[in-house]
């Protein structure tokens, strides 16, 4: 093919001075570029953003992606890379990932999220592995991971949580009371004995002075 002095005819089998390429060489894609009211053909090795290469027996063409916010597509209805700020998911582009999927920021893709089951019932209120002997304790509930996330970088929700609870039995039947209770009673007894002793000394002193 003779391309002539016009650089727009590069890669063409046939070319028009006004409309550019009309037919392209075998391995190149025909792309119809529009600029305002004017349009002209180009022969390219790869299609520009928003288009994909469609090979046909007649001539390879650049066809527009039909997916909204798509930057590069495999076919007109399957996007392989979305525009900046959008996540790719099953050939479509989303501003945020659908429920059940997590955003993989480094690839701007939506992958399967971590799925957890329902919470169990709250467990027995206990403290230091005892269900008596204290006024307050903790009760715990758990849930299982039903499906692990597609990537290890995606964290699963909390699978165990605890809350403060009131013991059903404060004193253990037939058991000893906690050390703190003993100490309090002993301290109180000592104070009473000291007070009585001081009172006796006061009475004795008062009688002597009389």
57: tokens are 């027996």
Confidence at 13, pLDDT banded by 50, 70, 90: confident
Per domain, the residue ranges of the chain are 8-64, 70-112, 116-173+181-209
Contacts 24+ apart (CB under 8 A), 168-171: 168/125, 168/131, 168/132, 169/131, 169/132, 170/132, 170/133, 170/134, 170/135, 171/132, 171/133
Name the fold adopted by 70-112. 2.10.220
The structure's pTM equals: 0.50
Q: Would you say 111 and 149 are in contact if contact means Cβ atoms under 8 Å apart?
A: yes
**Does 11 score more than 90 pLDDT?**
no
Asked if domains 8-64 and 70-112 share a fold, the reply is yes
What pLDDT score does 157 carry? 87
What pLDDT score does 2 carry? 44
Mean pLDDT across the chain, nearest whole number? 83
Name the fold adopted by 8-64. 2.10.220
Q: How many CB atoms lie within 10 A of CB 203?
A: 10
For the segment 24-33, the average pLDDT, to the nearest whole number, is 90
60-94, pLDDT tens digit by residue? Answer: 999 988 899 998 888 888 998 999 999 999 999 99
**Does 142 score more than 90 pLDDT?**
yes
Cβ neighbours of residue 208 closer than 8 Å, sequence gap 6 or more: none
What pLDDT score does 197 carry? 73
């Amino acid at each position: 093919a003779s391309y002539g002095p016009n650089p727009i005819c590069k890669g063409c089998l046939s070319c028009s001075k006004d409309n550019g390429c009309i037919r392209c060489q075998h391995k190149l894609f025909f792309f119809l570029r529009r600029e305002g009211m004017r349009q002209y053909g180009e022969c390219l090795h790869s299609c520009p953003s928003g288009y994909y290469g469609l090979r046909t027996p007649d001539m390879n063409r650049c066809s527009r992606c039909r997916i909204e916010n798509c930057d590069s597509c495999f076919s007109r209805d399957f996007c392989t890379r979305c525009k900046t700020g959008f996540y790719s998911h099953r050939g479509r582009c989303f501003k945020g990932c659908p429920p059940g999927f997590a955003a993989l920021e480094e690839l701007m893709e939506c992958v399967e999220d971590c799925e957890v089951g329902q919470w169990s019932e709250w467990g027995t209120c206990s403290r230091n592995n005892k269900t008596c002997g204290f006024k307050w304790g903790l009760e715990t509930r758990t849930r299982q991971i039903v499906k692990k996330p597609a990537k290890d970088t995606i964290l699963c929700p909390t699978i165990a949580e605890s809350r403060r609870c009131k013991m059903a039995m404060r004193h253990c039947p037939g058991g000893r009371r906690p050390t703190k209770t003993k100490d309090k009673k002993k301290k109180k007894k000592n104070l009473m004995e000291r007070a009585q002793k001081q009172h006796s000394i006061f009475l004795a002193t008062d009688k002597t002075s009389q």
